Amino acid sequence: MERQIYAYACRRCGALHYPFRMVCRECGDNGPHEFDPVPLPKEGTLLTFTFVHNLPAEYEVARLGLGVVELSNGLRMLGQLEIADPRLGMKVVGEVKVVRQEAYERRYGMVFRAA
């Protein structure tokens, strides 16, 4: 099954949040656990990006692409980029993959490539 990253919809006003938070930013009115998980869309537009050269020790690459993407439902997220020559405003599509390999754990996150 395809892996997903989830946004959280407020059960009272419907506002979507990513990442998870305990109180709705829109209505401020909900109790704990009053959010429904909704998969984040995978398509979006690249808002800004960088290539990081001084990486934490776990990363065995020379440089790592990172970018902020505005997803098709208007939410934004940070993700890794597998794009050699990114441009501001380009269309991208994401896939959930391993983004950080720790000693005893693989951490998953969104990795974007050109659409």
Partner 1 sequence: MREVYAAGVGITSFTRLEYPLVEIAAYPAMMALLDAGLKAVDQVYVANMGSARLNSQTALASAVVDTLGLTPAGAERIENGPASGASAVKQGFLGVASGMYEAVLVTGCERMREVNNLEATDFVATMTHPLAEYVYGVTLPAHAAMFTRLYMQRYGVTERHLAMVAVKNHANAMKNRFAHLHQPITIEGILDSPEAFTNNPYVSEPLRFFDCCPVSDGGAAVILASREKMAELGKPLIRLAGLGQATDTLAVFERPDPTDLLAVRRSAAAAFAMAGLTPSDVQVAELHDAFTILEIAESEEAGFFPKGEGHLALEKGVTSLGGALPINPSGGLKGKGHPVGATGIGQVHEIVTQLRGEAGDRQVAGAKVGFTCNFGGFGNNVISMVFVREE
Nearer residue to partner 1 within complex by CB, 57 or 103 = 57
* Least distance from partner 1 to the Cβ atom of residue 47, Å: 7
d(C-alpha 66, C-alpha 49), whole Å = 6
> Residue 74 interacts with partner 1 (CB under 8 A)?
no
Give the β-pairing of 64-71 and 76-81. Answer: antiparallel
Class of residue 110 by CB neighbours under 10 A (exposed 0-12, middle 13-18, buried 19+): buried
Nearer residue to partner 1 within complex by CB, 79 or 92 = 79
> Residue 88 interacts with partner 1 (CB under 8 A)?
yes
d(C-alpha 42, C-alpha 33), whole Å = 25
> Residue 109 interacts with partner 1 (CB under 8 A)?
yes
- Chain positions contacting partner 1, by CB under 8 A: 18-20, 47-59, 63-64, 66-68, 76-80, 88, 99-100, 107, 109
